[in-house]
């Protein structure tokens, strides 16, 4: 029942190759012929068959997406928004690549080959996954989000994590804070490494010494933030401001402060990271560092497209890394340091 190119050719009284050319906007087709073909295609509700196109050896226009921590990320939805937009603009479709290996014989690269996947988008925190090495080896173009993987056809998109935290420290300093703590995220992850680095740079910028007891936390979760804050509040000389690696941990931290009877930002200021929905809903509303998730998604697909279509090696290592700026979102969880604490 579905019309194909031959049906159109017959109805239009031209050859299939002419139809193909008309449909693909070849310049060599007579304007009238093209219009006629296009009109008939519409009438017949013609839809090109992607499988046939892929088979004939050209592009499959298929990208794969591989998620490690993936969807648990509270802002994956916004990432996807940007990915989606870029996908449409470039004409790609996205296929989901399972992270659940059923049996050791499963291979990401083989899966991609079978489905004619032209490039893969990977997202997550763990870079320990073996598949990544496999990807690089296979020369399959790939773009990682927040993951530091190298390879000739591998790109990366991330936020300017270090700069963001560094700036946060600066802003707290400007508010009079001198005892600034950092609630760290999962050790070993790329973003955590940079955020911690940014924290140190921020302290340095203002001649503040780093105190080991002011660096706590070991995960991006709410629970980690909660416990971290408890430890901070048990200190003899407690911090007046806390920069957190994530909104979730900041929320946990605020919870701990509230239980302790401390007011935020009256007694202690708190800064988050990400700007998830709950940041706005929290009491007090969380001051945080917004990542441009849609922008990252969009940039990732655009970069992947370039990696696929350009000559391998035509862009430099640096040229395959995209670092997006973050945005300081001032809400209610930060305030001036109490004067007694200065």
Task: By CB under 8 A, name the binding residues for a copy of itself.
Answer: 2, 45, 47-52, 54-55, 60, 65, 70-72, 74, 76-77, 80-81, 84-85, 87-89, 93-96, 98-100, 102, 110, 113-116, 221-223, 226, 252, 255, 258-259, 277-278, 281, 283
44 bridge partner residues: none
226 binds, among a copy of itself, DNA, none (CB under 5 to 8 A by kind): a copy of itself
Q: Give the number of other CB atoms < 10 A from CB of residue 259.
A: 12
Identity of the residue, 146 or 167, whose beta carbon is nearer to a copy of itself in the bound complex: 146
Asked if 268 and 119 touch (Cβ cutoff 8 Å), the reply is no
Residue 48 makes CB contacts below 8 A (sequence gap 6+) with: 5, 23
Structure tokens at 199: 């924290």
Which residue in 228, 286, 275 sits closest to 253, CA to CA?
Answer: 228
Q: Does 269 bind DNA (CB under 7 A)?
A: no
Partner residues linked to 323 by β-bridges: 158
Q: Which residues, at least 6 apart from 41, have a Cβ–Cβ distance to it below 8 Å? A: 3, 8, 19, 23
Given 13, 188, 266, 312, the residue binding DNA (CB under 7 A): 13
Residue 113 found at the interface with DNA (CB under 7 A): no
Q: Does 11 bind DNA (CB under 7 A)?
A: no
Nearer Cβ to DNA, position 2 or 209? Answer: 2
- CB-wise, 13 or 325, nearer to DNA? 13
CB 211 within 8 A of CB 137: no
Distance of closest approach, residue 140 Cβ to DNA, in angstroms: 17
The single residue among 17, 126, 152, 263 that binds DNA, judged by CB under 7 A, is 17
Residue 62 touches DNA, criterion: CB under 7 A: no
DSSP at 209: P
From the list a copy of itself, DNA, none, partner contacted by residue 89 (C-beta under 5 to 8 A by kind): a copy of itself
Reduced to 3 states, what is the DSSP secondary structure of residue 86? helix
CA 3 vs CA 15, 26, 31, 132: distances in Å: 15, 21, 23, 41
| Interface ranges with DNA (CB under 7 A) | 2, 4-6, 13-18, 20-21, 23-24, 27-34, 46, 48-49, 52-53, 55-58
């Amino acid at each position: 029942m579905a019309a194909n190119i031959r049906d159109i050719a017959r109805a239009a009284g031209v050859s299939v190759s002419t139809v193909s050319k008309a449909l693909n906007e070849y310049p060599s087709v007579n304007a009238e012929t093209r219009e006629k073909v296009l009109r008939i295609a519409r009438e017949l509700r013609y839809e090109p068959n992607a499988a046939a196109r892929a088979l004939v050896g050209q592009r499959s226009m298929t990208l794969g997406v591989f998620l490690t921590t993936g969807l648990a990320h509270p802002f994956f939805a916004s990432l996807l928004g940007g990915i989606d937009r870029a996908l449409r603009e470039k004409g790609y479709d996205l296929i989901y690549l399972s992270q659940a290996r059923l049996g050791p014989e499963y291979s990401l690269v083989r899966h991609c080959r079978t489905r004619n996947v032209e490039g893969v988008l990977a997202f997550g925190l763990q870079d320990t996954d073996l598949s990544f090495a496999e990807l690089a080896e296979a020369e399959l173009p790939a773009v990682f989000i927040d993951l530091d993987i190298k390879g000739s056809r591998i790109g990366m998109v991330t936020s300017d994590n270090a700069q963001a935290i560094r700036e946060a420290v600066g802003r707290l300093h400007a508010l009079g804070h001198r005892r600034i703590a950092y609630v760290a995220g999962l050790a070993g992850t790329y973003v955590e490494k940079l955020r911690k680095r940014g924290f140190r740079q921020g302290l340095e910028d203002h001649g503040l010494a780093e105190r080991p007891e002011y660096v706590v936390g070991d995960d991006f979760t709410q629970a980690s933030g909660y416990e971290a804050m408890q430890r901070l509040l048990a200190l003899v000389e407690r911090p007046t401001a806390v920069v957190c690696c994530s909104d979730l941990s900041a929320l946990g931290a605020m919870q701990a402060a509230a239980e302790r009877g401390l007011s935020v930002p009256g007694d202690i200021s708190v800064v988050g990271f990400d700007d998830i929905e709950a940041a706005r809903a929290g009491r007090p509303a969380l001051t945080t560092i917004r990542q441009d998730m849609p922008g990252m998604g969009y940039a990732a697909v655009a970069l992947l497209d370039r990696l696929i279509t350009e000559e391998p090696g035509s862009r430099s290592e640096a040229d395959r890394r995209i670092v997006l700026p973050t945005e300081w979102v001032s809400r209610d969880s930060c305030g001036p340091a109490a004067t007694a604490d200065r």
